[in-house]
Amino acid sequence: MEIMEDCEVNLKKIVAALDLSAYAETTFMHALALARSLQAELIILNIINISGLQSLDLVASQGFPVSKEDYIQKTNRERIRIFKETYLSRTEGVAAKIELRVGVPFEEIIRILRKEKADMVVMGTKGRTDLAGVLFGSTAEKVFRHSPCAVVSVRGPQHCRLPE
**How much is the mean pLDDT over the chain?**
86
| Fold type of domain 13-23+32-157 | Rossmann fold (3.40.50)
Query: Domain residue spans in the chain?
Result: 13-23+32-157
C-alpha span between 15 and 116 (Å, rounded): 9
Q: Report the pLDDT value the prediction gives residue 108, as an integer from 0 to 100.
A: 97
Give tens-digit pLDDT for 102-116: 999 999 999 999 999
Least confident of 2-11, 82-91, 155-164: 155-164
The string of pLDDT tens digits covering residues 31-61 is: 999 999 999 999 999 999 988 787 877 777 7
Q: Dihedral of CA 158/139/30/8: which sign?
A: positive
Average pLDDT over residues 81-97: 97
**pLDDT tens digits, 150-161:** 999 997 666 566
pLDDT at residue 81 is higher than 50: yes
The two most distant CA atoms of the chain are separated, in Å, by 65
Report the predicted TM-score, pTM, of the whole model to 2 decimal places. Answer: 0.84
**CB-based contacts of 31-35 (< 8 A; 24+ apart in sequence):** 31/122, 31/152, 32/90, 32/91, 32/94, 34/120, 34/122, 34/152, 35/91, 35/94, 35/96
State the pLDDT at residue 53: 82
